[in-house]
Amino acid sequence: MKIIYAKDYSDLSRKAANIISAQVILKPNSVLGLATGSTPIGTYKQLIEWYEKGDIDFSVARSVNLDEYVGINSDNEQSYRYFMDTHLFSHINIKRENTYVPSGKAVDLQEECKAYDDLIQKVGGIDMQLLGIGHNGHIGFNEPDQAFEKTTHIVELGDTTISANARFFDSIEEVPRKAITMGIKSIMQAQKILLIANGKDKEEIINKALNGPVTPAIPASILQLHPDLTVICSFES
């Protein structure tokens, strides 16, 4: 495990973007596992800037996102598909048909979970997975539990997650109670994992996840067992 302490959020974002762009330069058809949330926004901005300068080409890159809310249409501003389009995809030359986000509106959600796992296999697995971390240690929407859920599944969001995500909605009541998320096995099978954490409020959970026991009560703790994990954190704000 490599831990990099960034000076501040913009330093964190540049460092993360550097690692992702190196991945795409070295393997142009990389499968990038991507995350939403506040933390990766700066990384995506930096990648867009370098794309505009001609430094990175995403024309044959592919992406699979970690998760999506259940019950929300992809054109809804709160959906993770909308987030990815707005913060990254519509600004770079990745082909839309090469970007995958699970559907939270599938008629048969169990079938969608299975189809998403099949898709990850079909594209050859994830080359580099970008992750944020929740205050309760969740990765993707793998919430604290009795056991690690291996495959893509439907999850009931915990109260901490609902409260944390309420900032993106008009009221807490509007936050969906369920989500579809990639499982721990697909995340752990990524060739490389890049975990980013920003802010003083993430320091405690990062310490627990990286230095404490590996337990499904802190899903991110499993990352200690990954052979190629890089963590970039800034606890400045």
Rounded to whole angstroms, the Cα distance separating 102 from 88 reads: 17
Is the Cβ–Cβ distance between 62 and 55 less than 8 Å? no
Which one from 143, 153, 165, 226 is the annotated catalytic residue? 143
Best CA proximity match to 197, nearest among 128, 144, 125, 138:
138
**Binding residue count for ligand F6R, defined by CB under 6 A:** 13
- Category of 71 on φ-ψ map: left (φ > 0), alpha (ψ -120 to 50) or beta: left
Cβ of residue 15: shortest distance to ligand F6R, in angstroms? 16
Catalytic-residue membership of 108: no
Rounded to whole angstroms, the Cα distance separating 90 from 81 reads: 11
Our finding on whether 138 is near ligand F6R (CB under 6 A) is yes
The residue range among 10-18, 30-38, 56-64, 187-195 that interacts with ligand F6R, by the rule CB under 6 A, is 30-38
* DSSP summary character for residue 69: E
Catalytic-residue membership of 173: no
Catalytic-residue membership of 143: yes
Rounded to whole angstroms, the Cα distance separating 141 from 145 reads: 11
Give whichever of 34 and 56 is closer to ligand F6R, judged by the CB atom: 34
Residues 173-232 close enough to bind ligand F6R by CB under 6 A: none
Which one from 87, 127, 138, 226 is the annotated catalytic residue? 138
Sign of the dihedral through C-alpha 134, 140, 144, 148 = negative
Binding residue for ligand F6R, selected from 13, 21, 30, 39, defined by CB under 6 A: 39
Give whichever of 57 and 136 is closer to ligand F6R, judged by the CB atom: 136
Cβ of residue 154: shortest distance to ligand F6R, in angstroms? 15
Residues 50-69 close enough to bind ligand F6R by CB under 6 A: 66-67
Specify the 3-state DSSP secondary structure of 153. Answer: strand
Binding site for ligand F6R (CB under 6 A): 35-39, 66-67, 132-134, 138-140
